[in-house]
Every structure is written in structure tokens, then in C-alpha cells.
Amino acid sequence: AQTVTQSQPEMSVQEAETVTLSCTYDTSESNYYLFWYKQPPSRQMILVIRQEAYKQQNATENRFSVNFQKAAKSFSLKISDSQLGDTAMYFCAFRTSGSRLTFGEGTQLTVNP
């Protein structure tokens, strides 16, 4: 069975600074996909970034980037130049070709002015 672990229930960062959210996962599969979703107070789930396991290059989307360490089964999210609108719950998620998403417990990020 696949598991996803986010060991930081809460984090805070000052506006304009950089923060890194951690995620580890466990799987015996070799082909899989990793995601970070953001859930603001509106509760909607919004895709932030995704990474294919077969790609060695780390994914980047504007201020969001990942550090994907396949051997260590680690998938951290770096947010640069943090903005107040980044305040949200962030979920790491994992999917194999079998189509099911497995989510971590979430990290509540607060960006302080």
C-alpha cells in the first residue's frame, strides 16, 4: 500500500521569504506521479505543481518548485517570495497508474505580513 507523510502540521513564513514544505512517500511502484495541492480557506482544492517520477528534472511553476529525491522518496515544495495569498493548507499527493490519489495529512502554511 502507498502512504504519504507530511511531518509538519503547521508552518509560518514572513511575506517575501522562502519556505519549504516536506513530504515523503512509500511505494514499491516505479512509475508514479506526485502532486502538491493547495486548499485555501474557501476549501477548494487547487493544483499547485506536479512531478512525474520518471523525470529527473525538478518541476517548477513560477514561484513554486519541488525538490524530488526519488531514492529517498522525498518530494518537498519550495515557495519563493511568499505572498499573503499563499496562506492555505497544502497537501502532498501520490498516484500510480492505477488512478487512485493518496493524500498526506496536510501542512497549514501561514504567511505573515
Partner 1 sequence: NAGVTQTPKFQVLKTGQSMTLQCAQDMNHNSMYWYRQDPGMGLRLIYYSASEGTTDKGEVPNGYNVSRLNKREFSLRLESAAPSQTSVYFCASRRRGRKTQYFGPGTRLLVL
- Interaction site with partner 1 (CB under 8 A): 4, 9, 33, 35, 37, 42-47, 50, 52, 91, 93, 95, 99-106
C-beta closer to partner 1: residue 74 or 96: 96
Smallest separation, CB 94 to partner 1 (Å)? 10
Smallest separation, CB 40 to partner 1 (Å)? 11
In whole angstroms, what is the distance from residue 104 CA to residue 35 CA? 11
C-beta closer to partner 1: residue 7 or 14: 7
In whole angstroms, what is the distance from residue 76 CA to residue 66 CA? 5
Smallest separation, CB 87 to partner 1 (Å)? 18
C-beta closer to partner 1: residue 19 or 23: 23
C-beta closer to partner 1: residue 23 or 79: 23
Smallest separation, CB 35 to partner 1 (Å)? 7
In whole angstroms, what is the distance from residue 43 CA to residue 45 CA? 6
Q: What is the 3-state secondary structure (H, E, C) of 59-112?
A: CEECCEEEEEECCCCEEEEEECCCCHHHCEEEEEEEEECCCCEEECCCEEEEEE
Q: Residue 71: phi, psi to the nearest 5? A: -65, -35
